Amino acid sequence: MSMRYRTAGFKGYAVKFSPFHDAVLAAATSANYGLVGNGRLCILNTRAGPGGLLPQQQYDTQDGLFDVSWSESHENQLVTASGDGSIRLWDITLNTLPVAKWQEHKREVMSLEWNYVSKSTFLSSSWDGSVKLWNPASPYSLRTFEGHTGCVYTSAWSPRQADQFATCGEDKTVKLWSINDPHSRPVASFGGHTDQVLSLDWNKYSPTMFATSSVDRTIKIWDVRNPRGQVSMFGPFEFSVRRVKFSPFSPNYLATAGYDMSASVWDVRTGAVTFVHDAHSEFVFGVDWSLFHPGQMATCSWDEQVHLFNVPGAHS
């Protein structure tokens, strides 16, 4: 049985659990499929009981929101990615405007991720083909990384290496980067997908491995030590997978969300699906695992709902 919150009039694009508060969840949403109109950042309390998730805070923006990432150093702050190319920093203890705003990307910002090791910086990636490194204390980005041709859908930090991150995008490639590289160019590039690569996430327990999903309707597991990169593949499926997310409690479980209107949990050792959440009625764009409650997950969808539910056995 899942708890639900209706983001009336706003399509869900990303959902993230707080790394500090065990009962706080953020959802990035957009009106009109993100094409035109407002966005809304919803802060939800997950202890609302059987009646549903309780809205704790809400912020409206002039353009759609496509991603959100909690600060790893400030318990009440998070950043949002906007369709107008801007990034905003919010403080959930405040009821008013964002505490900071940056406007350097030339097109929609598609992903944001705070550095897990060097907790003062975060990454953004955009439809303009660039990835940028930020520090909230700076009015401008610290570095710009360009190596993809077309949209960069996801940029994701290594969970162990403060200077290493990976990206994936419209050009069908996965790229590995180091912020120490003086030329701001990728240090490695992996091919293998036959269409746009939509999502990427690192395994928290095997720090050289990450997973990707693609419009080619496959999920791939990669090892950066392998010259060929790819070590296994799941699919092809009937529909594309929009988001992949490794469990924070186990190296063996990968959550996916996609265009089949469901979220699934996979055992990467066998390629078997161990759990399916199929209560949404539209595309599922966001999925995340709680960092405090093993097996607890959240999803958001174009059906204008956020769901919270538990996955049995997904932490062993």
Which distant-in-sequence residues (6+ apart) come within 8 Å of 56 by Cβ?
Answer: 24, 43, 44, 45, 92
In a domain, 90, yes or no: yes
- Coil, strand or helix at 198: strand
Residue 64 lies inside a defined structural domain of this protein: yes
147 DSSP β-pair partners? none
Cα 299 to Cα 150: distance, rounded to the nearest angstrom = 27
Return the pLDDT at 87: 98
**Spatial contact of 120 and 130, defined as CB atoms under 8 Å apart:** no
CATH number of the domain to which 64 belongs = 2.40.10
From the first residue on, what is the mean pLDDT of each consecutive set of 10 residues in the chain (316 residues)?
89 98 97 83 86 88 96 97 97 93 98 96 98 97 96 97 96 95 90 95 95 96 82 91 97 96 95 95 98 96 96 77
pLDDT at 49: 63
Closest CA to 113 of 170, 153, 71: 71
- Distances in Å between the Cα of 255 and the Cα atoms of 203, 241, 279 are 11, 10, 15
Q: Is residue 88 assigned to a domain?
A: yes
Please classify residue 246 by burial: count the beta carbons closer than 10 Å to its beta carbon, then call 0-12 exposed, 13-18 middle and 19+ buried: buried
Residue 189 in domain = no
Number of domains in the chain: 1
Whether 198 contacts 241, CB under 8 Å: yes
Answer whether residue 73 is part of any domain: yes
> 287 lies in a domain?
no
Residue 89, domain member (yes or no): yes
Give the single-character DSSP code of 49: G
d(CA 232, CA 305): 33
* Domain residue limits at 82: 11-103
244 lies in some domain: no
CA contacts within 13 A on the Cβ side of 30:
25
**CA terminus-to-terminus distance, the chain:** 22
Neighbouring-strand partners of residue 288: 298
